[in-house]
Amino acid sequence: MPPPRNRLEAAAATALGVVAAVLAGCGPGADGGGETIAFAIPAGAGERVDAGRPVPGVPRRIEGTVGDTVEVVNHDSELQVVSGFPVNPGQTVRIPLNRAGTFEVECSAHESDNLKLVVSP
């Protein structure tokens, strides 16, 4: 496999191993309930990150409870990666929170390329 060509490919490649450790499963919470924690990646996010500038509206920390779902909408023209989940332009991705703990996960919509995910039991 060739080496990653850019920051997003590198984030996506490393994220695959992290996803299994952070999110056990890929459906709704065990009881199908829970809250939805939503945020949008705004247009121009990739350009701001590449310039080393913060992206308004993208949280640095997300707090939830097992059974909640993080919903990410990508309004940018570039692919973004949140906790190992690729979010294509115009796409909405729902990420179930199935395991309690505090995790540093990647988020390509941040100049630091990560965010903190705190999941309570």
Q: Which domains does the chain have, with CATH numbers?
A: 7-120 (2.60.40.420)
DSSP lists the bridge partners of residue 41 as 74
Task: Provide the pLDDT confidence category of residue 111 given band limits of 50, 70 and 90.
Answer: confident
Q: Give the model confidence (pLDDT) of 30-59 as tens digits.
A: 345 799 999 999 999 999 999 999 999 999
- The neighbour count for residue 44, using CB atoms within 10 Å, is 16
Is residue 10's pLDDT more than 60? no
Q: Which residue has the higher pLDDT, 30 or 104?
A: 104
Q: Which residue has the higher pLDDT, 6 or 59?
A: 59
